[in-house]
Structure 1
Amino acid sequence: MSGVDGSKIMASISCLTFNHGAYIRQALDSFLMQKTNFEYEILVHDDASTDGTGEILREYGEKYPDKVKPLIQRSNQYSQGIDNISGAFNFPRVRGKYIFMCDGDDYWISPDKMQKQVDYLEAHPDCTLCIHSAEIELVGKALTEKKMRPYRGNRVITPEEIVDKPSGYAMSSMAFPSRLVKELPDYYVDCPVGDTPLQMMAAAQGYCYYMDEPMSAYRVGVAGSWTSEGKSGDYARKQQIYWERMKKVYEEFDAATEGRLRQAAESAAKRTYYHTMVNTRQFKEIMNPEYRRYYKELTARTRFFIQAERCAPGAYGLLRRMFLGKNG
């Protein structure tokens, strides 16, 4: 009977997957290629996939029993109202001192990623989140030069900056102490997305360190992903519900942190509202001087197409087909 002593496991990888049969092998292989001087485990939660993902996970679990620990659901948990699957099913299984995050349709591109982040976290016990830049891959196309690169150069990120940031962090870049998730606050449980409350929890207890090195890849355009599913059906209504839920999350965070990061939380909530206005093309609100700061944070391309659609919708349609295509 083989096995690794749980007390010797330094890091746990939390991977969520649903119908990622075309991608999950690459994700698992990228975890297994890591060069570390410590033991780690791979906790994969499959939310009742129907495309053979579960069979692939069983295969890897049998081949790497000391590393790969699949949890394969018989019924879809997300559809039953459990938004944050990691907190419900993966975090309780964690044995490592640190947790790494990566969804099953993303993957890591550096074999030294885990070692570099653990080394920093071990040397800086006050650091509660370590992230890095990531490549962006459009599904069906080659890896592009585009990156999720929220900052330029390695640097410390203050708690205020973690909460009130103009651009997101790649989930596949996140590493943090497992002690953060021993007790999950209301704002984690109530949040419709899993990465934002984790970042807020880190901000409440420490600071973040950013490594300006692309060590993972983030896929855009995967069918069935949270982003693509959100765009189906009554999109405007979904955006309204998302905003209402996020507003509650930031209010709960402010209460939990006793107002220490109130200004950052209020600004982050306002930015979330603004982005739902951008997404649903509410031009009066988009151009409202109150939100000028958030308008300036948008990319030049996004601002260009907003103005084109606002002022010349016919020409905008042509430009969209020419420059954005079906990925726009």
Structure 2
Amino acid sequence: MNQPKVSVLISFYNLAPYVDKTMETVLAQKTNFPVEVLCADDGSDDGTIEKLRVWEEKYPDTVRVFVMDRIPGAKYEANERIKRMNAIRGRLFYEAKGEYVSYLDGDDFYTDDHKLQKQVDVLDADVEHKYIGCGHNGCYYWESTGKTVPIERPIRECSLTAEEYWSFLYIHTNALLLRNIGLQGIDPYKSGIPIIDNPLTFQFLPYGDIYYLPDCMFNYRQIEGSTYHRRSPYQNDILTALILYEQRCITRKFDAAGLVRFLREYEDLYKARKDPRLTQDAQTYMENLHTYHADRLRRIVNYNNESALSRLWCEVENPVWFFITKVCRHFIWKPKVRALLEEARIKTEKGEC
């Protein structure tokens, strides 16, 4: 195989029913450049590994498979699950030889056979390397009904600074094509923060801006029992809100944008601070809150276990922070961003999603 232009990095764990669909859509990509497909499995015991080996044998010059050791029958949850995902995605990145890398979850799949070509065309045209990545929209997909719904609001094609992107837009990691800065000797993951979803993307933002295409070019399969669905809504919000502190391990440059990005989660958690269910759900992540010195978040989610003085401070500080965040939003959301959001609101009301 010639030097690959793109490395597609796919992670699996007990996803045997979906392996073939995922691999078919990746290998069916129509490109004018070589693509390598790197697959990492978290020690599956349902036949996933065997299916991947079949694809590796069929496409020996394109597909490589890596399998993590796993104690038979072992179940990893919460922080252990995140650590294993870090190991999988980190291994894939460090093995990648392509000029560009694109992550994909093993149960999701591409719906446009020109997806990679479209993204490479954008980044290749960027001779000054202004953009660290090119992303696009995708769709939630329910296999039982075949229903699809766009993940993100209908934003038109646009160029966004890293700060603008981080303040308001979500691009699923499956939809991003990123420059392989590892080839330049840069390790984006040296901070040790999670290599999942928003934190994964954030670790590339110090190196450039984002170009966005509105096309829905992959399906994000919705599966009951997935890691996301096993957590409570409170726990998902806690982990999302914690990113504000995790990002500081990399840079403080995007602190204001982070405040704006996670305002909804903080407001929702603050409203529920007296609910004992929130306090109970938060205990799983208390170690994380201490690790990243997330004291304001801790006072909110652990409200019922805090001292009277700490609860009083929680009541005072958060309204102040919410006000500061809205001031930051005013200055970050310049006319371009406001126009994008207004256009998206109008399209949504007209059902033009």
Q: TM-score range by the shorter chain?
A: 0.7 to 0.9
Q: Which piece of structure 1 moves more, 241-250 or 94-103?
A: 241-250
Q: Secondary structure at the match of 1:81?
A: helix
Question: Which residue identity does 1:227 align to in structure 2?
Answer: Y
Asked whether the equivalents of residues 162 and 200 of structure 1 are also in contact (C-alpha less than 8 Å), the reply is no
Aligned counterpart, 2:280: none
Q: Quick one: distance in 2 between partners of 1:151 and 1:281?
A: 36
Aligned counterpart, 2:231: 230
CA 1:17 to 1:35, structure 2 compared with 1: closer, same or farther past 3 Å? same
Aligned counterpart, 2:212: 210
2:198 corresponds to which of 196, 209, 219: 196
TM-score (norm 2): 0.69
1:98 corresponds to which of 97, 100, 110: 100
Q: Quick one: distance in 2 between partners of 1:75 and 1:95?
A: 27
Question: Which residue identity does 1:112 align to in structure 2?
Answer: H
Q: Secondary structure at the match of 1:30?
A: helix
Asked whether the equivalents of residues 5 and 33 of structure 2 are also in contact (C-alpha less than 8 Å), the reply is yes
Q: Quick one: distance in 2 between partners of 1:279 and 1:151?
A: 30
Q: Secondary structure at the match of 2:132?
A: strand
Q: Quick one: distance in 1 between partners of 2:65 and 2:204?
A: 27
Q: Which piece of structure 1 moves more, 68-77 or 126-135?
A: 68-77
- Cα RMSD after superposing both structures: 3.3
Q: Secondary structure at the match of 2:8?
A: strand
1:50 corresponds to which of 26, 45, 49: 45
Render the CA deviation track for 1:75-94: whole Å, top value 9, x for unaligned. 17854833424443101110
Question: Which residue identity does 2:6 align to in structure 1?
Answer: A
CA 1:264 to 1:244, structure 2 compared with 1: closer, same or farther past 3 Å? closer
1:154 corresponds to which of 146, 157, 173: 157
Question: Which residue identity does 1:48 align to in structure 2?
Answer: G
**Uncovered stretches (5+) of structure 2, i.e. residues with no partner:** 276-299, 301-317, 330-340, 346-353
Q: Is the counterpart of residue 251 in structure 1 residue 244 in structure 2?
A: no
Q: Quick one: distance in 1 between partners of 2:263 and 2:156?
A: 28
Render the CA deviation track for 1:7-51: whole Å, top value 9, x for unaligned. x21010011111111111111000010011111100111111121
Q: Secondary structure at the match of 1:48?
A: coil
> Aligned residue pairs: how many?
276
Q: Quick one: distance in 1 between partners of 2:214 and 2:236?
A: 32
Q: Which piece of structure 1 moves more, 273-282 or 109-118?
A: 273-282
Q: Quick one: distance in 2 between partners of 1:277 and 1:142?
A: 37
1:223: how far off? Answer: 3.9
CA 1:56 to 1:96, structure 2 compared with 1: closer, same or farther past 3 Å? same
Question: Which residue identity does 1:229 align to in structure 2?
Answer: R
Aligned counterpart, 2:19: 24
Q: Quick one: distance in 1 between partners of 2:212 and 2:45?
A: 37
Q: Is the counterpart of residue 273 in structure 1 residue 266 in structure 2?
A: yes
1:183 corresponds to which of 156, 179, 187: 187
2:66 corresponds to which of 71, 92, 97: 71
Aligned counterpart, 1:310: none
Q: Quick one: distance in 2 between partners of 1:281 and 1:136?
A: 33
TM-score (norm 1): 0.73
Render the CA deviation track for 1:197-227: whole Å, top value 9, x for unaligned. 232233211111111111111112x144221
**Uncovered stretches (5+) of structure 1, i.e. residues with no partner:** 301-328
Asked whether the equivalents of residues 131 and 211 of structure 1 are also in contact (C-alpha less than 8 Å), the reply is yes
CA 1:65 to 1:186, structure 2 compared with 1: closer, same or farther past 3 Å? closer
1:136: how far off? Answer: 1.5
Render the CA deviation track for 1:71-128: whole Å, top value 9, x for unaligned. 1223178548334244431011100000011101110011101111011111112111
Q: How does 1:244-323 map to 2 (within 5 A)?
A: 245-253=242-250, 256=251, 259-274=252-267, 276=269, 290=322
1:252: how far off? Answer: 1.9
Aligned counterpart, 1:321: none
1:280: how far off? Answer: 8.8
Q: Is the counterpart of residue 136 in structure 1 residue 140 in structure 2?
A: yes
Question: Which residue identity does 1:206 align to in structure 2?
Answer: G
